[in-house]
Structure 1
Amino acid sequence: MSVTFIALEILWTRIFSAEFFYTFAFLILSLAILGLGLGGLSIRFFKKLNNPSLIWVYLTLSGILALIGPMLVLRLDLNFTHLFSSGWMLMKFILTIIILSSSFFWGGMALTLLFKINNKKISTLYMADLIGAGLGVVVAVLLMNTIQTQRTTLLICLPVFVAALLQAPQWWRTVPAVLSLLVLFLLPEANTLIHKERKERFPVIFSHWDAMANIKVAKAGDDFYYCIIDNAAHAPTIHFDGNLDKPDSLKQVSGYPLKYLIGRTDSCTFLSLGAGGGADVLNALYEGATEIHAVEVVPYLNYMMTDGFLKDFTGNMYHNKRVKVVTEDGRAYVRQFRNKFDIIYSGSTNTFAALASGSFALAENYLFTREAFEDYYRAMSDSGIMLLDHQFYIPRLVNDAIEAMNKLNVPNPASHLAVYDFPARGRMVMLMSKQPMKKATWENALYKLSAENYPQFRIVYPSPDSTKNNLINQIVENGWKAAQPNSATDLSPSTDDRPFAAQMGMWKNFKFSELQTIQPWEFKGFPLAKLLITIILLVIGLLIIPINLIPFLKKGEKLNVRGWLYFFLIGVAFMTVEVILIQKYTLFIGSNSYAFMTILFSLLLASGIGSFFSSRFSSTTPFLGIIAWIILDVLLFGFLTEKLVLLPISGRILVTMVLILPLGFFMGMPFPKGTLRVGSLVDWGFAVNGAASVLGSTAIMLVAFNFGYQIALVTGAFAYFLAMLIIRSQRVWVKE
């Protein structure tokens, strides 16, 4: 059953990320764990449900709801932007929550009953639960990358139906068996069933949906396609007939003119950071770049360009001898080079999808941190220039670039920068050069600065006297703290320990009037991420935690405060450490679906093995092991992984597993050790643990936003320390 539950959680995340915008994918983790915990609590509240003979029924209901849930939600026409302004939309949202959590609710009842009636064998059962979850991660990712997300969403219900078959009385086994056959029968219709109607700007002529992205190719014209990633990011693809010797008037290009920048050197090495549909690569080919690295993190985009749907449309240009096609996280790739690239080109390179983090955090990438700009600076040749454009991030990125050059002891970092505004495009462009930038360079790099071009193209740094009060100029000349009062968005620097460039909202901008139409991003300063987290915390604090206190009022055997707090603390601690580890090691491996799979699988596998061997360790040993390993992670492992970034991805995966497995081994022990202290009251302990897990995974993001991952990880260690103080006491945890 755990294979289905964790896989379903990942699939829900992929669906939400692609169809409802990544910000709301964070809800999945909360609702999944919450559903499991409330299912466990219902066993304690209602005696008729506390019946082992019903386990197969609960599993069957869980599988049915897992099967139909995605179909129902995608047809509700849910629109998060009108959540607070429309009562009808609020009702749809509540219904979505019920549908999302229902499968986990019934599954939580089955899981809790198994724990309760076999509490003496909890070490083995909890091992099966964790290893099953780990395998579920692998199964989900591999299936999505082979048979696509829609079919996987249906197929992943089979394990829980098999579990129901194993538990059902002989004369009822036909029910889960028939449901399993129904899943196989529906499989050919998966693309129709798992589908959200959406009005597209241009006709969609091709689509593919795997663990990394939902990709659609839209036809904007006979010579111009758009690759749409997760219904948010757009990558242009230009028709190319294979002829590079055209006059300029016949060349079709997208993006910014590169003739001047590429022409500065006799032999230009060009890096496209997020090559997408190849428009930047074509531009570089036209202008004579001699070596082009087309780096793209989404594997299927590269496949379409090299051997798939876009190969012929783009004139087979990815097989040009000057083009090196790289499927890799851009940050992980650029760290491998020193003094290499004459141009690093980043055209709106970012992702609006919950990629490596899955549902386990508000997704971020590491492309826009201070340390990232240090890597870009090192990777540039002596005459190198980085061009980076974005709709929203440039003020913050200018600050990051300056801090990076200060860190590298570059004299007068401001002299290495130029920033342009394109009002008609709604974009800004930043140039960062290895050497101090000559006036001729920033005057001619893209278009010639002139009064004639001013309505469409202007420079904001170095700024002419007439516009010196612009925000960019204030940041460069006076620092971000001086400029912050004049900015609606957060300008504070992003670092690898705090890589939240997209979390730009500030509480000072919160207004109830803004709730009329919520935008699923923070580019105008509305604190959406913090608001979502706060709402979840309020629901947990005002509703779920009190529900978990109700059994104190009932007669009969119950946990005392000490036992209740123990399960609460280990729930907070486990999810805190899990969320932060996934984020931290994604930087080392690279932001891709296999990185997420590796990290979470390693942690769950090791925790399962740790559970099995938990009886061989004293009560305090696991906690001491966890705390010691977290201290090593905070003080040492960051330096170690920094030295090993040049390893191939297989080597980085292996190192990550070595660094995570010992910690996971000890993290699998506290729950079974607590269960052995409370016996059949594990149902209540499991429910408390679930509520605390939601609280921990949610609240820790506020800690990370404000103080960074290291402090967040130490917070998890402190929660484990408090739990250790409770378990080392010999006082009983159960009272009559």
Structure 2
Amino acid sequence: MALHIAVFLITLSGLIFEIGLTRIYSATIWYHFAFIAVSVALLGWGLGGVVVHLLRRQLIPTMEKAALLTLLYASAIVVCLWLIVQFPFRFEFLPIYFIAPLVPFVLAGMALSLIFHMHRETASTLYFADLLGAALGALAVTFLLEAFGGETMLLLVVVAPLGASALLARQYRKFAVAGAIVAVVIAFSNERMGLFRVIPGTLKAMRRHMQETPGTRVTQTGWNAYSRIDAVEGFPPPNLARLYIDSDAWTNAQQWDGRLDSIRYVRNWYRGLPFRLASGAETLVIGPGGGSDVIVALGSGSRKVTVVEMNPLMLQFVRRYGERAGNLYDRPDVEVIQSEGRNFISRTERRFGVIFLGFVDTWASVASGGLSLSENYLYTTEAFQAYYDHLTSDGILVIMRWGVDLPRLVSNAVALLGADEASKRIVALIEKRNTPDDPPQMIFMLRKRPFSEEETAEIMGWTEANPLIVPGRHAEPPYDDLFSSRKTLDQVIAESPRRVNPVFDDSPFYFATERPWGMPHQMRLALAGLVVPMLGLLAIFVVLGKPMGKPVRPYVASIVYFGSLGAGFIAVELTLLQHLTLLLGHPIFTLSILLFTILGAGGIGSALSGRVPTRWACLAVAGLGATAAFALPRFIPALLPLALGARVAIAVTLMAPFGLMIGMPFPRGLRQTGQGSLPAPPFYWGLNGVMSVIGSIGTVVAALVFGFQVAMLAGSACYVLAAVASGAMEQ
């Protein structure tokens, strides 16, 4: 029992450390680089097995060695956090941000590899403890982040591997107990003493702005599973504070006395232009942040404003300013809904005169076992359909973004309505300012009915903006050709130097505009930097891994089997995550539910693995994946009107069979290793980890280029390969 608890504690801490790092990396680097934390975790777990296999003659497996490695793993977590704190991110420090978290995961992977090697006859029950620990870690991380913040959470999680070390070997118990006491003391004094406070990197807007504006100071900091938010005061009035999300994107909480008469001047603001066409409307603001758009809507005459904000910290921070901010989110004419915008609009039956989205992005990384799939469902064609259906007969969808966003927004509208109808309903404007520090903003409007001639004449006379598209009066290239039928949408897309095709729920990568795959050059380099070494390591590993003088066929089959399990699991998991994010509406909440269910059910599947033939378990996963690839895109939208509790129950019901069957093949195959042509378990532990990294990258590329349906089918194909290989491996 002590052995199983130790495995449980190692994987519990590993999952919390992994997801905690994604949050810290989002706050210190860029959200794009949060994938480093998760890919490093996968790589580290796998490399631990590689190291144990390569040192199998020098590293004789003992419980004492496993305990020592676990003790070092706990210490390495603290060192990793210290390095991140001491070296705020700059590009030259990127190797530190890669290597620092790699070491703890390698040590943890080595400890688990030794344990599974020494006790492979109980691999099923050990794997049950492994998955159960990871499942509870995924569930706990949300609560720990909100309760303690990112830095303190990582200090507290050190207690788990220290406890595991004490259980594995008596001789290290004094060190483990002493270390746990020190970690707890430092953790609970950290907020007061600031020993381990993460500082945003030099590329982050918050740090730049504070350096450029003397006298600014951080007055509030909060963490949760969505983001870290810092309230920085000291900027010029009427700003009470600038609220930074993950130290980069920001929104302003504004000073206001709460009287409508005192903000009537906002009608003349550029952001107030759309409200001139919808006087007295009921307005929906998605992603209101600090509340500037809410003030504009109220001051421009909206009789009621409904705001939908996903991040509870944002609401909490604004409410702390109370009367100084006009009690903005506690007014009778402002209704606050805490939810994700697309999810809310799909569930409500209400109609709105204006639906307003002002620079709404999901920067929080949503990652599990692979790269961060950071895009959301707010800017897909299906989302446009939902907004359009919830407008009044005279209503307007208003999206404020940059000029580079216009082609994608127009493509979505044309995909929804057709070029002829869209040409009558689209207005696009660009602000009359253009400075390097304050680039112009673009307003995109899609009206439920065609704009009238009187309205378009009025729009052409607005002095605050230049027209880009005004029905019947003006259209910039290439929209003039598109709306005059001289070119089709497909021709416009083909001729564009960037990807401007419509975005759909199956591949919701609205911001992926760089040709050919939608990945920025920097990200392509980062992926290549991961894939090339992984493929080289895999080739060396496979060539040198075969026991001397043994048949080749079972060994090759085992490579295909365990490699397919690693790649297939990641593909299925990431695709399920994207589908269920739409269902549940909260990305990190979805992540916790997904991992808890799949890993928990996987643990049960591991315990039952001896009762189901390997081939049938693999084929069952393939069948579930193929069915989900075609059924979920049609099934999930129909479930959105249900209450959250019902949607959670359905999500768990959908995911549990996946977890149950996914948990069976790995431990069952592991029991066959260490004899004949098959190397010992650490070899396959490493192979599985390396293929998980390669599989996660492959899933991202497949989703970007072909969509998540293809990504899920690719994951299912991996399990078919594993089923075929299982027969040859047993011979």
TM-score, length-scaled by structure 1: 0.89
> Secondary structure in 1 aligned to 2:373?
coil
Distance 2:520 2:174 in 1: 53
Partner of 1:702: 701
Q: Which deviations, in whole Å up to 9, do the C-alpha atoms of 1:303-337 show, x marking residues without a partner? A: 2234xx23333121211112110111110011123
Following TM superposition, by how much is the alpha carbon of 1:365 offset from its aligned partner in structure 2, in angstroms?
0.7
Counterpart check, 1:108 vs 2:109: yes
Counterpart check, 1:396 vs 2:408: yes
Partner of 1:279: 292
Distance 1:549 1:459 in 2: 63
The residue type equivalent to 1:179 in the other structure is G
Counterpart check, 1:549 vs 2:581: no
User: Retained in 2: the 8 A contact 1:216–1:229?
Assistant: yes
Partner of 2:394: 383
Farther-moved stretch of structure 1 (201-210 vs 717-726): 201-210
Counterpart check, 1:427 vs 2:422: no
Distance 1:530 1:129 in 2: 33
The residue type equivalent to 1:334 in the other structure is I
Counterpart check, 1:489 vs 2:489: no
Out of 75, 78, 89, the position equivalent to 1:64 is 75
Counterpart check, 1:244 vs 2:260: yes
Distance 2:245 2:683 in 1: 43
Farther-moved stretch of structure 1 (595-604 vs 546-555): 546-555
Following TM superposition, by how much is the alpha carbon of 1:184 offset from its aligned partner in structure 2, in angstroms?
1.0
Out of 597, 602, 606, the position equivalent to 2:601 is 606
Farther-moved stretch of structure 1 (268-277 vs 548-557): 548-557
Partner of 2:572: 577
User: Retained in 2: the 8 A contact 1:227–1:235?
Assistant: yes
Q: Which deviations, in whole Å up to 9, do the C-alpha atoms of 1:568-622 show, x marking residues without a partner? A: 1111111111111111211111133212211121111111111111111122221
**What's the C-alpha RMSD, in Å, of the aligned pairs?**
2.5
Out of 249, 262, 269, the position equivalent to 2:278 is 262
Farther-moved stretch of structure 1 (487-496 vs 599-608): 487-496
Classify 1:386/1:703 alpha carbon distance in 2 versus 1 (closer, same or farther; 3 Å). same
User: Retained in 1: the 8 A contact 2:265–2:299?
Assistant: no
Farther-moved stretch of structure 1 (647-656 vs 530-539): 530-539
Partner of 1:511: none
User: Which structure 2 residues correspond to residues 122-521 of structure 1 after superposition, within 5 A?
Assistant: 122-170=123-171, 172-187=172-187, 188-190=189-191, 191-196=194-199, 199-202=207-210, 203=216, 204-219=218-233, 220-224=235-239, 225-246=241-262, 248-249=264-265, 255-257=271-273, 259-263=275-279, 265=280, 268-306=281-319, 309-338=320-349, 340-355=351-366, 360-391=371-402, 392-406=404-418, 412-422=421-431, 423-424=433-434, 425-444=439-458, 449=461, 453=463, 457-462=465-470, 468-474=475-481, 476=483, 478-484=487-493, 487-507=496-516
Partner of 2:686: 687
Distance 1:212 1:358 in 2: 18
Q: Which deviations, in whole Å up to 9, do the C-alpha atoms of 1:363-412 show, x marking residues without a partner? A: 11111111110111111111110110112422212111221224xxx962
Following TM superposition, by how much is the alpha carbon of 1:349 offset from its aligned partner in structure 2, in angstroms?
1.0
Counterpart check, 1:23 vs 2:32: yes
Following TM superposition, by how much is the alpha carbon of 1:272 offset from its aligned partner in structure 2, in angstroms?
0.3
Following TM superposition, by how much is the alpha carbon of 1:635 offset from its aligned partner in structure 2, in angstroms?
2.5
Following TM superposition, by how much is the alpha carbon of 1:426 offset from its aligned partner in structure 2, in angstroms?
2.7
> Secondary structure in 2 aligned to 1:700?
helix
Q: Which deviations, in whole Å up to 9, do the C-alpha atoms of 1:10-49 show, x marking residues without a partner? A: 0111111121111111122221111111111111111232
User: Retained in 2: the 8 A contact 1:226–1:236?
Assistant: yes
Distance 1:232 1:393 in 2: 20
Classify 1:533/1:250 alpha carbon distance in 2 versus 1 (closer, same or farther; 3 Å). closer
Partner of 1:537: 531
Distance 1:185 1:570 in 2: 42
Identity over aligned pairs, percent? 25
User: Retained in 2: the 8 A contact 1:374–1:405?
Assistant: no
> Secondary structure in 1 aligned to 2:347?
coil
Classify 1:571/1:359 alpha carbon distance in 2 versus 1 (closer, same or farther; 3 Å). closer
User: Retained in 2: the 8 A contact 1:480–1:491?
Assistant: no
User: Retained in 1: the 8 A contact 2:369–2:570?
Assistant: no
The residue type equivalent to 2:336 in the other structure is V
Partner of 1:665: 660
User: Retained in 1: the 8 A contact 2:572–2:712?
Assistant: yes
Following TM superposition, by how much is the alpha carbon of 1:476 offset from its aligned partner in structure 2, in angstroms?
4.9
Classify 1:285/1:38 alpha carbon distance in 2 versus 1 (closer, same or farther; 3 Å). same
Classify 1:442/1:3 alpha carbon distance in 2 versus 1 (closer, same or farther; 3 Å). farther
Following TM superposition, by how much is the alpha carbon of 1:624 offset from its aligned partner in structure 2, in angstroms?
2.4
Following TM superposition, by how much is the alpha carbon of 1:51 offset from its aligned partner in structure 2, in angstroms?
2.5
> Secondary structure in 1 aligned to 2:388?
helix
Partner of 1:84: none
Farther-moved stretch of structure 1 (393-402 vs 254-263): 254-263
The residue type equivalent to 2:690 in the other structure is A
The residue type equivalent to 1:528 in the other structure is Q
Classify 1:725/1:119 alpha carbon distance in 2 versus 1 (closer, same or farther; 3 Å). same
Classify 1:480/1:527 alpha carbon distance in 2 versus 1 (closer, same or farther; 3 Å). farther
Following TM superposition, by how much is the alpha carbon of 1:347 offset from its aligned partner in structure 2, in angstroms?
0.7
How many residue pairs get aligned? The number is 691
Following TM superposition, by how much is the alpha carbon of 1:566 offset from its aligned partner in structure 2, in angstroms?
1.0
Distance 1:55 1:326 in 2: 50
Farther-moved stretch of structure 1 (222-231 vs 319-328): 222-231
Distance 1:486 1:75 in 2: 48
Farther-moved stretch of structure 1 (435-444 vs 584-593): 435-444
Distance 1:247 1:35 in 2: 55
Farther-moved stretch of structure 1 (13-22 vs 388-397): 388-397
Out of 669, 677, 682, the position equivalent to 2:672 is 677
Following TM superposition, by how much is the alpha carbon of 1:416 offset from its aligned partner in structure 2, in angstroms?
1.1
Distance 2:356 2:369 in 1: 28
The residue type equivalent to 1:301 in the other structure is M
Distance 1:443 1:201 in 2: 40
Partner of 1:516: none
TM-score, length-scaled by structure 2: 0.89
Following TM superposition, by how much is the alpha carbon of 1:231 offset from its aligned partner in structure 2, in angstroms?
2.0
> Secondary structure in 1 aligned to 2:209?
coil
> Secondary structure in 1 aligned to 2:262?
coil
> Gaps spanning 5+ residues in structure 1: where?
81-88, 509-521
Classify 1:138/1:568 alpha carbon distance in 2 versus 1 (closer, same or farther; 3 Å). same
The residue type equivalent to 1:280 in the other structure is D
User: Retained in 1: the 8 A contact 2:52–2:682?
Assistant: yes
The residue type equivalent to 2:264 in the other structure is D
Distance 1:444 1:596 in 2: 48
Classify 1:548/1:542 alpha carbon distance in 2 versus 1 (closer, same or farther; 3 Å). same
User: Retained in 2: the 8 A contact 1:112–1:683?
Assistant: yes
Distance 2:268 2:129 in 1: 57
Following TM superposition, by how much is the alpha carbon of 1:252 offset from its aligned partner in structure 2, in angstroms?
10
Counterpart check, 1:36 vs 2:45: yes
Partner of 2:713: 714
User: Retained in 2: the 8 A contact 1:255–1:279?
Assistant: no
User: Retained in 2: the 8 A contact 1:236–1:254?
Assistant: no
User: Retained in 1: the 8 A contact 2:493–2:499?
Assistant: yes
User: Retained in 2: the 8 A contact 1:269–1:291?
Assistant: yes
Distance 1:274 1:471 in 2: 31
